[in-house]
Every structure is written in structure tokens, then in C-alpha cells.
Amino acid sequence: MINIRSEKEIGLIRLSGRILAGALRVAELRIAAGMVTGELDEEIAAYIHAKGGKPAFKGYNGYPANSCISIDEQVVHGIPGKRGLKEGEIVSVDVGVLLNGYYSDAARTFRVGAVSVEKEQLMKVTLESLDKGIAAAVDGNRLSDIGHAVQNHVEAAGFSVVRDLVGHGIGEAMHEDPQIPNYGTPGQGPRLKAGMVFAIEPMVNAGGWHVRTLDDQWTVVTTDGRPSAHYEHTVVIRKGAAEILTLE
């Protein structure tokens, strides 16, 4: 069942999302060569706690950190630790916030200094594909229209969308129905209705779409070792354009 949220509930998710957006701003300001991922994770958590929220990922299904920090070929779920960032890397930071019983979820990919042309293009196309997916997330469309819009844009640029991982509904739980693939045939699945709240999150690889999970049982990497980018927003379906709830 896909939940239809009241305006009160949407407002609570929006408040959670504002804290999350601020946490990602902390990451943007702090990411630089030499920054240790575990220290960045603690700074993100400190910001969320200072604003009255709770880092939603810590302990979720046993996840050991406050945020997911994934570098280069790491697609998602990278565990922060002792690794220091290096010039030329790209870093995806994925954060969840719980506030007043409601969750928000968002991610951005950042550059560490100057990066390669390929990585710049990968980041650009992935962010654009998120915009395309959000533009398709309107009352009256079908669920698969979101993934189709993402896939079309990504593949036209010569990149690939990860197929083993998906976006999702969100609200009183971190992951709710429906699952939202970043690919597919348009016009399929449930019809979108105003009040549905989704986390839309293209994960895009420079090479092939295949991924695997490392021995830590969390970190997902590209099988070919090529870089990957990840952008995500929590949005609510409206009769016109979807509203992004993870903005400052």
C-alpha cells in the first residue's frame, strides 16, 4: 500500500528534510583532501543532533554509522572510518533524519578538488537525471514514468543506471512502498496521487550497471571499478510539479 500523507504529515517530513539539507551543506563545506570520513560522519551527526533530529541510519538494520559515505567506485552504503579523502575523488554522502516520528532521506555527490572530465560529466548527468525523475513524479502519471525518465537521460549520455538498488516510499518508516527503480517502460505500475511521498535516488555508473557488495556486507561497488554518482531528494507528489522536501 502506498500511503497518502496529510498536509500535517508532509509538514513534519519537510521539517526533517530541512535538517537533512543542512547536514549535507555541512558535508559540502567540510569535504576536502585529507578529510577523514569518520570525522565527517561525526560532524554530520553533531549537526543533526544540534537541530533536534536523529541520524536515521545509525543502527538501521545494523548499519554502524550515522551516514553513508561512498567514494569513487563505491555506489552506496560506504561505511565512514579512517579513510582520508584524496584530490580527484568524488564522494557520495547519503543521510537520513528522523524528527517527530517522520523520516527524510537525501544524497549528494561532491568533488574533492579538481576531478576528471568523466567524473564531472557523471555528476552532472546524475543530478540532471534526478531532476528528470522528479519532473515525472506528478499526480496522474504512473510509477514507472519516474524510472523511465531517469534511464533515458542517463543512457543518452553513455552512462548506466544501477538496477539492483531502488528509490522508495518514505514517511513513518525509512523504507515504505513502493520501490522505485531508476529504469523501466513508461506507463506501468500504480498511478501517482497527490500526497504520496517518495525518495527518488538515481545511482549512475560511468561503466556498466552491475554492482557487488563487499565483505563488510554494506558497501556496494561497481563490478568494473568505474566511478559512480548518487543524488537523492525526498519529494511529495502534487497535482502540478512535485515539491522537494529536502531543501534548506
**Percent of the chain having pLDDT more than 90?**
100
**pLDDT score recorded for residue 211:** 98
Whole-number pLDDT of residue 187: 98
Extract the C-alpha cell encoding 148. 523511465
Tens digits of per-residue pLDDT, 141-157? Answer: 999 999 999 999 999 99
How is residue 69 written as a grid cell?
559515505
Main-chain phi, psi angles of 43, to 5 degrees: -70, -40
Please give the average per-residue pLDDT across 101-105, as a whole number: 98
| Predicted local confidence at residue 69, as pLDDT | 98
Instruction: Indicate the pairing of strand 160-161 with strand 233-236.
Output: unpaired
Count the Cβ atoms, other than its own, within 10 Å of residue 117.
7
Q: Tell me phi and psi for residue 61, to 5 degrees.
A: 55, 30
What value does the mean pLDDT of the chain take?
98
**Angle 117-136/144-156 helices, nearest 10 degrees?**
150
Band of residue 229 on the pLDDT scale cut at 50, 70, 90: very high
Establish how many alpha carbons lie within 13 A of residue 199's alpha carbon, considering only the half-sphere containing its beta carbon: 31
**Where does the pLDDT of residue 241 fall: very low under 50, low under 70, confident under 90, or very high at 90 and above?**
very high
Give the pLDDT confidence of 118-174 residue by residue, as tens digits: 999 999 999 999 999 999 999 999 999 999 999 999 999 999 999 999 999 999 999
Domains and their CATH numbers in the chain: 7-244 (3.90.230.10)
Q: DSSP class of residue 106?
A: E
H helix or E strand, kind and range, residue 29: helix 7-30
Report residue 215's pLDDT band, with 50, 70 and 90 as the boundaries: very high
What does the pLDDT look like over 26-63, one tens digit per residue?
A: 999 999 999 999 999 999 999 999 999 999 999 999 99
Q: What Å distances lie between residue 119 and 73, 228, 239, CA to CA?
A: 11, 8, 35
